[in-house]
Amino acid sequence: MKLLLVLMSSLSLVDADSDVIGSDKPVTVTVSDNVILPCHLEPPFNVRNLTVEWKRGETIVHIYTNRKDDPGRQDKNFRGRTSVFHEEMIRGNISLKLTSITELDAGSYTCFVPKLQSQVRRGFVNLTVEPVEQKKDKGSPTHKNNRQPENVVKKAPINPPYTANIRQTISGHSEAFSS
């Protein structure tokens, strides 16, 4: 019984006046790159045993709880693209890594440690996503010369039955009929 009480009290209250700190300045990243959204506790505090939630608006980006990540509750658009640095958490670093950035990832993110005693349990980070550098502009004259849409269009009506036959033979699947 005593042990249970001790356990319960150690779980419900966290004796720390550390604040959660995000970033004053927006973080900028290019489409398809990876990015780290910075967030940490100040002064440093071990959050290895606490819950950490990353959200964008109401969307759940990443949840860390019971000493591991909980991908079941995150939004499907973030599935397989997020991580936190478990070893860094010992020093209060709860930064989020986000991979394969798309324009849809831009927005206001929050890092949240619900069990913290401090009044400042949330940090904020804005993410700005920039398009890939304009390689298209440089390449467009060449592209126009290389592309021969007329040929493609001419070939298209002639070849499908032939192509379909080959694919059917190779694969042996009826899939070929659908294309």
Ligand X SMILES: *[C@@H]1O[C@H](CO)[C@@H](O)[C@H](O)[C@H]1NC(C)=O
Positions that interact with ligand X (CB under 6 A): 24, 26, 36, 38, 40, 46, 49, 85, 88, 93, 95, 108, 124, 126
Helix H or strand E segment including 88: none
Nearer to ligand X, 38 or 115 (CB): 38
Q: Smallest gap, in angstroms, from Cβ of residue 108 to ligand X?
A: 5
d(CA 92, CA 148): 57
Q: Smallest gap, in angstroms, from Cβ of residue 5 to ligand X?
A: 17
Nearer to ligand X, 36 or 164 (CB): 36
Before 149, cis peptide (omega within 30)?
no
At residue 68, the 3 state secondary structure works out as strand
Per the structure block, which two tokens stand in for 125?
């980070």
Q: Smallest gap, in angstroms, from Cβ of residue 53 to ligand X?
A: 17
Q: Smallest gap, in angstroms, from Cβ of residue 95 to ligand X?
A: 4
Scanning the chain, the segments in alpha helix (DSSP H) are: 2-12, 135-146, 149-158, 160-171
